[in-house]
Amino acid sequence: MERALIIGASGGIGTAIAYELTAKGVDVVALSRRTHGLNFIDASAAETLLAGVEGPFDLVLVVTGALTSTRDRPEKSLAELGAEEMAAQFAVNAIGPALVMKHAKRWLPRKGRSVFAVLSARVGSIGDNRLGGWYSYRASKAALNQVLKTGSIELARTHKEAICVALHPGTVSTRFTENFAAPNKLPPTESASRLIAVIDGLEAHQTGAFFDWKGERIPW
């Protein structure tokens, strides 16, 4: 890997991934809301910013996301479901990465191995949903997964060695999860290291799939 584009590089996981790739000698181009004003709530402005980015990149990695947008916690029941929260979650978690993927055809080389990866979440898996709740977050991540799967099919027609995958980073100890009680949270550096290892080990026939930070496949 020689050159990587990290979308959302100012967050805990994004910062750790950018740091590790740079330490490995990879030329990292980093975009974030904090530094560059990349805000997927404003889709038009985001499109303008993305249009100015020039490839090629061996890796394009999208690590943006939001657990909630207008609430202090995810919905626990249908009674808590609201249009404003759901729309905001889709804007950040599904539409934003979709806009990034639209540019993948010009960023990724047509010849040689390349990877387009986006951080999804295990709770976005329909097949793995056993607890319910978290409606907006689950639905937006499931939509993201469908965009990734569909995009991987189109991209394979022109980029034969490109690999498009959704990745679950684990429950990572960041500001994103600080109010979320969960055992065994991963440090951002460990999650980053594991995700990079998964990316490095991917093969072309695995495009369009969903993997966790240990490299294990997650059902859609």
pLDDT at site 174: 61
pLDDT at site 60: 98
pLDDT at site 89: 96
Cα separation values, 175 from 179, 188, 192, Å:
8, 11, 16
- Residues in the chain predicted with pLDDT less than 70, given as ranges, are 174-184
pLDDT at site 6: 96
In tens, the pLDDT along 184-218 reads 678 889 999 999 999 999 999 999 999 999 999 99
- In DSSP notation, 179-214 reads TS--SSPBPHHHHHHHHHHHHHH--GGGTTEEEETT
pLDDT at site 171: 85
**Does the model's pTM come out above 0.85?**
yes
pLDDT at site 10: 84
**Nearest CA among 102, 95, 50 for reference residue 69:** 95
From CA 203, how far away is CA 85, in angstroms rounded?
37
Cα separation values, 68 from 47, 78, 98, Å:
23, 16, 19
Beta-strand relationship, 114-119 and 162-168: parallel
The set of residues, in sequence order, having a beta carbon less than 8 Å from that of 190 and lying 6+ positions away, is none
Length of the chain: 220
pLDDT at site 88: 95
The CB density around residue 217, as the number of other CB atoms within 10 Å, is 11
Strand arrangement of the beta sheet that strand 209-212 belongs to: 27-31, 3-7, 59-62, 114-119, 162-168, 209-212
Answer for the pair 109, 155: CB distance below 8 angstroms, yes or no.
no
pLDDT at site 35: 85
pLDDT at site 79: 97
Beta-strand relationship, 59-62 and 3-7: parallel
pLDDT at site 211: 97
The CB density around residue 60, as the number of other CB atoms within 10 Å, is 27
Residue type, 159: H
Cα separation values, 205 from 48, 106, 149, 158, 209, Å:
33, 21, 13, 15, 9
pLDDT at site 102: 94
User: What's the mean pLDDT when you consider all of the chain?
Assistant: 92
Answer for the pair 31, 60: CB distance below 8 angstroms, yes or no.
no
pLDDT at site 106: 95
